[in-house]
Structure 1
Amino acid sequence: MPLSKKPIPRWSVPSAFERVAGILIVWAVLAITLFAGPARAEQRIALIIGNAAYSAIPSLDNSANDANDMALTLTELGFRVTLGIDRSREEMLDLIAGFGAEARTADVALFYYAGHAFQVSDSNYLIPTDFNPVNLEQAAADSIMLDVALNALAEAPGLKIVMLDACRDNRNQIPGVRDGLARVGSAADFLIVYATQPGAVASDGKGRNGTFTGALLHHIRTPSQDISEMMIAVRKEVIAQSGGLQIPWESSSLTRRFFFDDGPPTANSDTMLYQAAVRSWDKSLMNLYLQRYPEGVHAGDILAMLTEGKTANTQLRSIGPDEESGEQLWQLAQRNRLRPLFESYLNTYASGPHADEARRILAEMPPDADQNPARRCELQANHPRDGTETTPGVPFELLARNSVAAIRDCEEAVRLNPGQARYLALLARAYAASGLRDKAVPLFEQAADRGDLRAMVSLALIVETGDGAEKDPAKAQALFEKAAAAGSPDAAINVAIPLLDENRSAADHKRGIALMQQASQSGAAIATFNLGLLARDGKFGTPADARALFERAAREGEPRAYREAAYLLAEGHGVAKSGLEASKYLLLGVASDDGSLLQELTAPGQSWPKDTLVEMQRRLGRVGLYSKGFDGLPGPALKQALEKWRNGGFNASALGS
């Protein structure tokens, strides 16, 4: 019997200044696949080099931090790591030679470099700390060709990964060199990742880490996410942080999937933070949740807890901190790298297995990291669609209430960073929220002319509707097309939506799907979700493709996708029928959405197959949340168990096979 479905709106906010990319008029259903990876037996090695303290050219703020943090992270992910900080040319050559010898028996060999680099005649050179050239010819002789490291990696029989956060601007130090790095080809089973597109310059960052490595550290620990999906998430974050001016790039010839963390799946960061706050009953975490997710699915629950205390939800009384919740909180802290998360871990698990590491990280975090005007501007005016792990998006209504402070800080950020169009776009958004649209529109135009993708989309929405400027649909379409071509997923979706109307031609449908695929590959969860719906209905690919698309959309942060994946498996629609697999997605959906799925599963007359509910009861029983008979009936006992699961009782061990 098919499940009930309900339509969802095309647009989620009323103002043209805030209208986000549209979604197809589809049915609300959903879920995620979480395949537990095999036990790790492969040999993983890594060589990490971070050069920051140069003798003859300007030092870098973050390269050493980047290398240290990557070394620690990869060690925890099962790599045997060799780390070199501030190394001379001879020292770098020795490290690379030793790494090449070790690579001959490695299943996965990874080379990471942070520091200065340059290109000459399409060849790339890494710069050691004793680099001191007098001319271009000497510059090449004093540095190390990237090919030296690539040749060392080629000795590995398995996967070979190269990550280069080394695209800083060196023109003033080395006359005659070109910006950034050149793209190079690779043999089979190579992945070469650049911090930005070929020939462009990457940012050294304003905090502890560079823009690219910071994003990499936020996503590399996500369980059940293969490296290609990880790079989509990293690219999306860097594009958002830079306004589209820095776009990570990769050249891949991998012949198999690779997971940095092949452990069991977890919920998304929104839900993990909620679970951590509830388990520890830590008000600082509750407030952090509201700061990061002011319109999150659990915001109402958090507000009730802060105002009413534990009586806001009596199901929370029997759930408290334990080893499982400690590991979840630690994983969340490592992924988000926010001070309150590490502090909460120490407050709740002072003798926990990660306590010493938490203290070390806190000691190394720069003081008052959020106190400069540029950072305050980002925290107050960032668009929700550009939210990252460390810089959440701010809804238009909340920005309007705080627009005076946002305008002040963003004006100062523009003054201090005249070359960065992103701050012009943020200032424009702050002006728009305050009602000063006559000031906002010219700033959006300036930022758009300088390549800021968010400014292009905002300006297109304004002139499309005439909300703040003269209505000009042709100009709006041109702006959307330009932004889509430059990599904006929101723009691609806005162009795609009308093309997918059932009354449009087959050629329009084909282009609309291609644009939706482009947005999906840029990390837009709603685009991936929409492709899943099209696949489910036989309008794109095959119904069998829908499951993978829904799984990915869920991992990218679209909680409705959990239910849709569960539906496919529970009903056997395009995939092998499996109540066991469907029950995993249902539990993830219950934990991650706004409570709708919980109500559906426990409502009288619900239509989910009995075998799926039986498997869900067994999973809840495995973690001590359900003790009645496994009868597949949605009675009070199941409702109470699901409420506990959603409100603090999430336990990844319940999701195993």
Structure 2
Amino acid sequence: MKKVSKKHISLINALLLGLVSALSLAAITVPSARAAAMLPAEQCDAEAGSEYDLQRNFSFRPVATEDIRIGVALSACREAYKQGAEPRQTFQLARVLYKAGQRSQAMAMLKAASEEGHAIAMVNYGVMLDENGNHEAAFTLFEKAAATGNILAAYNLGVAYRDGVGTKVDAPMAIQWFERASLAKDDIAAFNLAVMLDEGKLVREDNAKAAKLYRIAADRGNIDAMVNLALMLRTGEGVQRDLSAARELLTKAAIAGDEFAVASLQAQPADTTDVAMIDDTVTSAIAADGASAPVLQKTARLK
């Protein structure tokens, strides 16, 4: 075997080091160059796209409201708007403005995007109109947006028909729209549909179906559904009684910060097997400091 001189080894190492350095530099500069090469409209898409927007630019990952970088997003979306942006960027500008606390400007942008047929803008504009008392106009926008398949529009129609806001109370229609949103994996829609069946006020009570819907919503991470299903598991309402499963759900909800779950767990310690079950009629429980803390009734946990 031929020996390789130390000088040759050093040369090889130097070449390798240079290659690694070049690759590292490329990894740093390429994304920066790409970001610099983006048009304002594209950067707006990248910084403020909503996961609920079926018309968003799918080249970029959606950005949750809490993750919007106001400075960067506002600059990009404003520039895109000035350059004659698509309704999508107009809506995204509204998202950023709303997060920045500029409510009136956000509403103006939502109106502009809505008038150009942008579905999620219609939903958000409708919500703001509803908050201002213009319920009928909001309902009309929800209907238009729901016709495009928008999940949030379907959910809001369910609420409108359930509560009679902007239209008359219509339980079958409320169920229909909540079901559509639930099938599209909306956890709050599944929860509210479960509550309707659990309460039995607008529709015939069906605890078994309610429990199944609470399970669907709980599996999607809905805290209220975890609590309500736990209460049903404790009492055997609509499901087979299972204290262990009930406690597991309450623990998950408590870890997530739900005060009702915390109080409920404290009222029934894990090592107590013969204490009275807590059900939805309980209105107080023992808090961590020994004081009485209010507990919401199951049927009042409606979003």
**Would you call these one fold, judging by a TM-score over 0.5?**
yes
Partners of 1:443 and 1:510 in 2: how far apart? Answer: 34
Q: 2:49 touches 2:61 (CA, 8 Å); kept in 1? A: no
Which of the numbers 74, 82, 100 marks the counterpart of 1:407? Answer: 74
Question: Counterpart of 2:193?
Answer: 531
Number of aligned residue pairs: give it.
240
Using the alignment, how far apart are the partners of 2:65 and 2:260 within structure 1? 27
Partner of residue 543, structure 1: 207
TM-score relative to the length of structure 1: 0.31
State the Cα RMSD in Å: 4.4
The aligned counterpart of 1:241 is none
What's the CA shift for 1:493? 3.0
Would you tell me which structure has more strand in proportion to its own residues?
Answer: 1
More helix by share: 2
Using the TM superposition, give the Cα deviation of residue 520 of structure 1 relative to its aligned residue in structure 2, in angstroms: 1.6
For each residue in 1:593-628, what CA deviation from the matched residue of structure 2 results, as whole angstroms up to 9, or x when unmatched? 21535632443x449995599xxxxxxxxxxxxxxx
1:458 aligned residue: 124
Q: SS where residue 549 of structure 1 aligns?
A: helix
1:515 aligns with 2:173: no
Match of 1:429 in 2: 95
Alignment of 1:208-287 (within 5 A): none
Q: What residue number does 2:252 align with?
A: 588
Match of 2:62 in 1: 391
Give the direction of change, closer, same or farther, for the CA distance of 1:585–1:432 in structure 2 (3 Å limit). Answer: closer
Among candidates 484, 487, 499, match of residue 149 of structure 2: 487
Cα offset, 1:548, TM superposition? 1.8
Pairwise CA distance, 1:425: 0.4
Structure number with greater Rg is: 2
Which whole-Å CA distance do the structure 1 matches of 2:219 and 2:274 have between them? Answer: 22
Structure 1 residue 403 displacement after superposition: 4.3
Residue 600 (1) aligns with residue 263 (2): yes
Long gaps (5+) in structure 2: 1-26, 276-285, 289-303
- 1:483 aligned partner, one-letter code: A
Distance 1:394 1:512 in 2: 27
C-alpha offsets along residues 310-352 of structure 1, whole Å, 9 cap, x if unaligned? xxxxxxxxxxxxxxxxxxxxxxxxxxxxxxxxxxxxxxxxxxx
Provide Cα deviations, 1:17-48, integer angstroms capped at 9, x if missing partner. Answer: xxxxxxxxxxxxxxxxxxxxxxxxxxxxxxxx
SS in 1 for 2:62: coil
How do 1:326-341 residues align onto structure 2 when only pairs under 5 Å count? Answer: none
1:576 aligned partner: 240
What's the CA shift for 1:430? 2.9
Structure 2: distance between partners of 1:612 and 1:525: 34
Task: Decide whether the 8 Å contact of 2:139 with 2:160 is kept in 1.
Answer: no
> Which residue, 531, 542, 559 being the options, matches 2:223?
559
- Matches for 1:165-184 after TM superposition, within 5 Å: none
Q: Give the Å deviation of 1:532.
A: 1.4
Whether the aligned pair in 2 keeps the contact of 1:404 and 1:434 (CA below 8 Å) is: no
- 1:499 is matched with 161
Q: Which one of the candidate residues 478, 497, 513 is aligned to 2:140?
A: 478
Contact 1:385/1:393 (<8 A) preserved: no
5+ residue gaps, structure 1? 1-362, 614-633, 637-657
Paired residues for 1:135-174 under 5 Å: none
Letter in 1 for 2:230: A
